[in-house]
């Protein structure tokens, strides 16, 4: 019987998404493991793949369609041993999602080879043989940059074209603008309401990504619903910088280089363990107090901001934290993070010191109870042993959810954090 392909939930909180692109067309034969489409969520663009063999009889949702509800039937697949003309054309959204797991398997947006090893590994004797062998990411970049894949030589397994091949070709290929003819794509280019704006000034209308929409919604909700209290301390960094230099000398052979931020993540986690009243989430008439410090690290990506998580950071070595931060940040910027790698966390850290920002107040990321904003370390006049001296000093500001965290508890947390940074041997004990 026909198989309904439904819009999957790619994260526990996902209610809708954008069907960015179909990787198949009506009439195509698909086998288990074939990639079918790309879906944009509020955090990343993900792919999903077929589990069953069959023929795509109907694409019910056009590429580029925004706001597709989870559970909506987006396509129909007919079993290869059935009459494809008998496939129904229902477009009604499905009431529940579990059946979708029979049809698709979610995979990371930029993984070059699907995780599932099945019939997809066997070369098909159909029109699939005529397809250009390229990763979905390579195809998307080629479309954006106007690269003709038929003229690109692949360096991946079995001659598969990968991202690096397209980028190399793009450097020698003029960029072209790809026109989208679908009604949904055309609607996406329509200007948004501009009441009160001076549209006589030359301007460009930029469609917001799902990530940017989510950031706008969540930050607005946070400032409207969460009473923030801000507490700032100045922290002397000289001892931490000296220890960092010594540790990096010992880690050089392992090709690990600790950053100041790596050490601040560990200090934040240890401070949360020592002051558990700040490692909490407010939840109406109850409050969750966490026994573990999972630190969300703010990472800027082209489409906005994402917060990959260092789980149980208080019990990890600095070298382990450094390695994880590097790997997660790299994958975040490439859209490769899995939902469990950026959802959750008990507190966040945002470091703008590398951009020369001296001090700032960060917005809490609900349902977390706090976020630490870190400024630049700079030479300042400072009292050292009752005498005026020059020291490297950093301003750090904690934003606390005042519904769950009293000012005295927040102050104690900032005091402990300051002590951990100024006496950093506790970070390696």
Q: Are 377 and 392 in contact (CB under 8 A)?
A: yes
- Give the distance, in angstroms, between the CA of residue 371 and the centroid of all CA atoms in the same chain: 18
To the query of whether residue 402 is one of the catalytic residues in this protein, the response is: yes
Which residues on adjacent β-strands are paired with residue 16?
69
Categorise residue 54: left if φ over 0, alpha if ψ from -120 to 50, beta otherwise.
left
Which residues on adjacent β-strands are paired with residue 350?
373
Phi, psi of 49, rounded to the nearest 5 degrees: -130, 160
Whole-angstrom distance, CA of residue 229 vs CA of residue 406? 9
Whole-angstrom distance, CA of residue 104 vs CA of residue 67? 20
Closest by CA position to 264, among listed 240, 239, 293: 240
Whole-angstrom distance, CA of residue 8 vs CA of residue 265? 34
Q: Are 384 and 391 in contact (CB under 8 A)?
A: yes
Whole-angstrom distance, CA of residue 360 vs CA of residue 417? 17
Which residues are catalytically annotated?
402
């Amino acid at each position: 019987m026909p198989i309904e392909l439904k819009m999957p939930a790619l994260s526990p909180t996902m209610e809708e998404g954008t069907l960015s692109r179909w990787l198949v067309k009506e009439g195509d034969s698909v086998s288990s493991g074939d990639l079918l489409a790309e879906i944009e969520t509020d955090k990343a663009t993900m792919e999903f793949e077929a589990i069953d063999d069959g023929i795509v009889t109907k694409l019910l949702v056009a590429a580029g369609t925004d706001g597709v509800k989870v559970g909506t039937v987006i396509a129909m697949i007919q079993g290869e041993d059935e009459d494809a003309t008998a496939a129904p054309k229902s477009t009604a959204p499905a009431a529940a999602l579990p059946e979708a797991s029979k049809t698709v398997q979610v995979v990371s947006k930029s993984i070059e080879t699907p995780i599932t090893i099945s019939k997809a590994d066997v070369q098909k004797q159909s029109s699939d043989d005529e397809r250009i062998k390229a990763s979905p990411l390579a195809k998307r970049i080629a479309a954006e940059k106007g690269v003709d894949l038929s003229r690109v030589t692949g360096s991946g397994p079995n001659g598969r074209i990968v991202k690096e091949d397209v980028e190399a070709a793009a450097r020698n290929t003029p960029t072209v603008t790809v026109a989208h003819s679908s009604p949904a794509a055309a609607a996406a280019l329509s200007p948004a309401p501009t009441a009160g704006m001076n549209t006589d000034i030359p301007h460009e209308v930029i469609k917001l990504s799902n990530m940017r929409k989510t950031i706008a919604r969540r930050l607005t909700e946070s400032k409207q619903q969460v009473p923030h209290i801000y507490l700032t301390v100045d922290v002397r960094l000289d001892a931490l910088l000296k220890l960092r230099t010594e540790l990096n000398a010992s880690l050089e052979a392992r090709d690990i280089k600790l950053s100041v931020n790596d050490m601040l993540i560990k200090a934040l986690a240890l401070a949360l363990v020592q002051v558990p009243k700040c490692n909490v989430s407010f939840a109406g008439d109850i409050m969750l107090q966490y026994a573990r410090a999972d630190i969300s690290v703010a990472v800027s990506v082209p489409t906005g901001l994402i917060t990959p998580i260092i789980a149980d950071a208080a019990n990890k070595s600095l070298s382990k934290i450094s390695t994880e931060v590097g790997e997660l940040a790299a994958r975040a910027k490439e859209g490769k993070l899995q939902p469990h790698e950026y959802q959750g966390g008990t507190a966040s850290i945002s470091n703008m010191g590398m951009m020369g920002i001296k001090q700032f107040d960060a917005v809490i990321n609900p349902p977390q109870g706090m976020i630490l904003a870190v400024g630049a370390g700079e030479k300042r006049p400072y009292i050292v042993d009752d005498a005026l001296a020059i020291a490297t000093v950093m301003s750090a500001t904690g934003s606390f959810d005042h519904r769950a965290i009293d000012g005295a508890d927040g102050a104690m947390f900032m005091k402990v954090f300051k002590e951990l940074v100024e006496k950093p041997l506790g970070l390696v004990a």
